[in-house]
Amino acid sequence: MREAYHVELEQLADNLADMSVQVANAMELATKALLNADLSLAEQVIGADAKIDDARAECEEQAYALLALQAPVATDLRTVLAVIHAAESLERMGDLALHVAKAARRRHPDSALPDPVRPLFSEMGEAVVRLALRVQEVIKSRDVEAARSLEADDDRIDEIHRHLFSVIMAKDWEFGVPAAVDVTLLGRFYERYADHAVSVAKRMVFVVTGRMPGYGSDDDI
């Protein structure tokens, strides 16, 4: 039974790693859609979101089956519960990529991004996709150091996010309130995406070490 348990747990971790790649792809395409006002890319992300929701439901079902059939205890139990939480965060990252794609679609054929903030979104997009791919590595390798290194990328995203606010709040912002509102919400979507990525990595550290690195959310504006 222990053997079957570990095979199933590996399978569950593989599915979680696949979800990380899916949400990384979703955010990469959504960012391209946003930067290039590309409607068909936006539609592609919007159409693919249901698959991420399904992947999460499947992870949860697998985890439930594992709990019901194997009744794991101690570390094994915490591992399965960490997977359930991680799947929820990954689904949420997919939702945030979806929101970015919908913002691109809503403004099409215009761009939702005034020129001065484009490089910031380009950099934030790259940084958050890198985070999601690192999450995949962490799930596969269970490498605690790799998980901790995510925080540096997350700090960089927070920095860009703050810079973004200073740009739209500046006196010489000439694009009006509607563009500022779009940029505010879009910035928040990227920042939340990064927070969820860090939270998945923390859950994985917990699986390896049995200790959760910091509880609660770091989510501040």
Name the residues that contact its own copies, by CB under 8 A. 53, 57, 64, 67-68, 71, 73-74, 77-78, 81, 84-85, 88, 91-92, 95, 99, 102-103, 165, 168-169, 173, 176-178, 180-181, 184-185, 188, 215-217, 219-221
What 71-80 contacts at long range (C-beta under 8 Å, 24+ apart), as own/partner pairs, is 72/5, 75/207, 75/210, 76/5, 76/9, 78/206, 78/207, 78/210, 79/9, 79/207, 80/9, 80/12
Q: In terms of Cα–Cα distance, which of 165, 170, 127, 164 is closest to 149?
A: 127
Q: Name the minimum Å distance from CB 18 to its own copies.
A: 18
**Rounded least distance, CB 178 to its own copies, Å:** 5
Q: Which is nearer to its own copies, 5 or 173 (CB)?
A: 173
CB nearer to its own copies: give 32 or 192: 192
Name the minimum Å distance from CB 74 to its own copies.
Answer: 7
Q: Least distance (Å) from its own copies to the CB of residue 53?
A: 5
Of 94, 54, 55, 52, nearest to 189 by C-alpha is 94
Nearer to its own copies, 67 or 144 (CB): 67
Task: Output the smallest distance, CB 66 to its own copies, in A.
Answer: 11
Distance, in Å, from the CA atom of 61 to the CA atom of 35, rounded to the nearest integer, reads 37
User: Which of residues 77 and 133 has its CB atom nearest to its own copies in the complex?
Assistant: 77
3-class secondary structure, 187: helix
Q: What is the rounded distance in angstroms from the CA atom of residue 180 to the CA atom of residue 114?
A: 9
- Whichever of 1 and 74 has its CB closer to its own copies, that residue is 74
